[in-house]
């Protein structure tokens, strides 16, 4: 599946943050993050209302220290679809 939007995702303290040069969204849970990404995309005007948008989120491993990366298999990449 080809993504319409690609975002970098990190976990910072108590929230997930996803963004690229155009949009940024955050949420305390992945569900909240997804809702805020949908809202940010709708507000950006990049897509027409009612369109389905495929979003690929790639975890940014540079956001965690080198020494802990070997212990971080729980970080992951995600693909979601939202209707604007």
Contact between 16 and 68 (Cβ < 8 Å):
no
Q: Is the pLDDT at 82 greater than 90, yes or no?
A: yes
pTM score of the predicted model: 0.85
pLDDT digits (tens, 9 = 90+) for 17-76: 999 999 999 999 999 999 999 999 999 999 999 999 999 999 887 776 666 666 666 667
Q: In the block, which residue shows the tokens 């209707």?
A: 83
In sequence order, what are the beta bridge partners of 6? Answer: 56
């Amino acid at each position: 599946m080809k993504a319409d939007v690609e975002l970098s995702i990190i976990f910072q303290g108590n929230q997930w943050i996803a963004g690229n040069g155009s949009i940024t969204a955050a949420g305390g849970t992945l569900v909240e993050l997804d809702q805020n990404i949908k809202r940010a995309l709708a507000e950006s005007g990049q897509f027409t209302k009612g369109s389905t948008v495929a979003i690929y989120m790639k975890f940014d491993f540079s956001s965690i220290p080198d020494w802990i990366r070997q212990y971080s298999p729980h970080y992951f990449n995600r693909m979601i679809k939202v209707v604007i």
